[in-house]
Amino acid sequence: MASIAVVEDTFDIQGYMSLESSTDCREEPTRRYTMKFINVRTLDLRRLSGDLMNRRLNTALFAVAFLVALSTGAFAQQLPQPSYGLNLGNTFEPPCGVGCWGPPMPTQAGINGMAGAGFNTLRIPVSWLSHANSSGTIDPAFMAQVTQVVNWALADNMYVVVNEHWDNGWFDSNGFGSYDSNINSKLQGLWTQVANNFKNSSTHLLFACTNEPDVSSQAGTNVLFQYYRNWVTTIRNTGGNNASRWLILQAPGPSIDKASSYVNSSIWPNDKSLELECHAYDPFQFTQLTGDASWGAMYYFWGAAYHSSTLTNRNAAWGEESYVDAENAKAQTNFVNHGIPVYIGEWRAVAKPSEPDLTGTNITQNYNSATYWNYYMQHSNASHGLTGTCWQTDDIIDQVTGAVKNQDALFAVLGRSYIPPVGSARSAMVRTKSMPATVAWPWMPTEAEPQTALRSFSGAMAAATLKGGR
């Protein structure tokens, strides 16, 4: 929404703002505004002195205030970039109720711990229909539980994604072979209740229609998007902040490949505040498979540097670094570059459980390789302009106490570090130089010192802007 260009000692911001609504953002410029300000990204305080330093800092703060005004007043909120996100998995989506799949009801301390650890985005999978009566009315007590967690996360300045997650598969029940008015009525009825409940909530809350629609054809995708177009209208008609809230549509699959093959402008809803969701678990034999299957054997080692010279059949035969980057580049080219943000709603590699042929240092190598996959995915997502939330089921951050349960996994999914291969010359974790994980600007400075100094001068205003994201 804004572009910055350096012109000697002056800087231009060209913002595009709709004059039709103070809460509605449109990509097409209705009017251009130009103002001069200091380029915060390239500010080097060590080269400034005296009056020049004061003049530029004052101008920088004015620019920060201007950007705050744009992000909080004129624009509904997309997910922050770079995003550091996680799922509240297996918590609100079990049809049998909260706690029956393991993870307990979160507490405020648990959500605070997630935000404090560096996460700025929380995805909350929910099974709404399983908690509704025969008339389709959602249990008020269940709605209140979800609402409480959403509010805790919003109070921590996190972005939140709430969806309709699996829920015994009712949405996929006819295979998307044809449009089913009964399925549509059920979908719109549930979401009307959810949307009305959250209509006045911050626009840091986003709605995602479903989870993983089982679609693998153009005809099925056409049916899927017929439901989506109705759903977008339903949400918008509830008013309040829902009139401009960002909404997320799940790709068929939901894979980048299928989205690139089947999602096109002829079926995309006529709405400017929509994102596309895909999931990334490739190669599944490495990231999630916990036993050899008829269609493929497990991989223990991902990334050429982690390959085994003895268990060569367990080295990933596809889906390594170049594949990850190629897939994300496809999403960037086909959607992001055309104004449709792409959100990787689920991604994560986990170490394998005990296996007969996974022993000794190979256990460690598999564990280390999983940290590398997670680290690489986070960085590839960010470098291609994608946002995301890693899959986690109370195993990285304790959702009751807020304590860190797995520091290695935490650092990896945040893109801070990974563990090198066994026998590597480097005995410690590989660490990267980056801004604190709460920073959500779509750029990373090359030096920390100017960033730190700027925040010390700008005080609460700059700190709030950096945490706020856009």
DSSP string, 381-416: HHHTT-EE-B--SSSSB-TTT--BS-HHHHHHHTTS
User: Do 100 and 64 lie in a common domain?
Assistant: no
| Structural domain contains residue 453 | no
Q: In angstroms, rounded to a whole number, what is the distance separating the alpha carbons of residues 174 and 216?
A: 14
438 inside domain: no
pLDDT at 77: 74
Q: Look at residue 125 in the predicted model and tell me its pLDDT.
A: 98
- Of 53, 74, 95, which one is at a domain's C-terminal end? 74
Q: Poorest-confidence range of 52-56, 159-163, 338-342, 455-459?
A: 455-459
Are residues 246 and 129 both part of a single domain?
yes
Q: Are residues 153 and 290 in the same domain?
A: yes
Q: Are residues 22 and 158 in the same domain?
A: no
Q: Is residue 115 part of a domain?
A: yes
Range 320-324 average pLDDT: 98
DSSP assignment of 118-134: T--EEEE-B-SGGGB-T
High-pLDDT (> 90) share of the chain, % = 73
- Among 223-227, 281-285, 462-466, which is the least confidently predicted range? 462-466
What CA–CA distance (Å, rounded) separates 48 from 43?
9
Residue 419 counted as domain residue:
yes
Average pLDDT, the chain: 81
pTM of the model: 0.78
- Residues 156 and 229 grouped into a single domain: yes
Domain shared by 47 and 91, yes or no: no
In a domain, 437, yes or no: no
* pLDDT at residue number 76: 66
Region 22-31 average pLDDT: 32
More confident residue, 59 or 226: 226
Do 91 and 69 lie in one domain? The reply is: no
The reply to whether 314 and 179 lie within a common domain is yes
Work out how many domains the chain is built from and give that number: 2
Range(s) of the domain holding residue 112: 85-431
Predicted pLDDT of residue 436: 36
Looking at residue 431, its pLDDT comes to 56
Poorest-pLDDT segment among 25-29, 106-110, 193-197, 227-231: 25-29
Label the pairing between strands 342-347 and 387-388: parallel
Q: Is 197 helix (H, G, I), strand (E, B) or coil?
A: helix
Give the pLDDT of residue 24.
34
| pLDDT 10s digits, 247-271 | 999 999 999 999 999 999 999 999 9
Does a structural domain hold residue 454? no
* Region 92-97 average pLDDT: 97
Given a cut of 80, whether residue 274 has pLDDT beyond it is yes
Co-location of 134 and 13 in the same domain: no
90 and 24 both lie in a single domain? no
User: Which CATH number goes with the domain that contains 193?
Assistant: 3.20.20.80
Q: What is the pLDDT of residue 427?
A: 42
User: What is the mean predicted confidence (pLDDT) over 201-212?
Assistant: 98
Using alpha carbons only, give the angle 145, 151, 152 rounded to the nearest 5 degrees: 95
Q: Which residues of 70-103 are buried (b: 16+ CB within 10 A; e: fewer)?
A: bbeebbbbbbbbbbbbbbbbbbbbbeeebeeeeb
Whether 232 and 322 share a structural domain: yes
> Is 312 found in the same domain as 165?
yes
User: Does the structure show a pLDDT above 80 at 467?
Assistant: no
Q: Is the pLDDT of residue 58 over 90?
A: no
Task: Give the end of a domain, one of 74, 108, 137.
Answer: 74
Burial class (CB in 10 A: 0-12, 13-18, 19+), 264: middle
Q: Identify the helix (H) or strand (E) that includes residue 70.
A: none
Q: What is the rounded average pLDDT of the residues 168-173?
A: 97
3-class secondary-structure state, position 420: coil
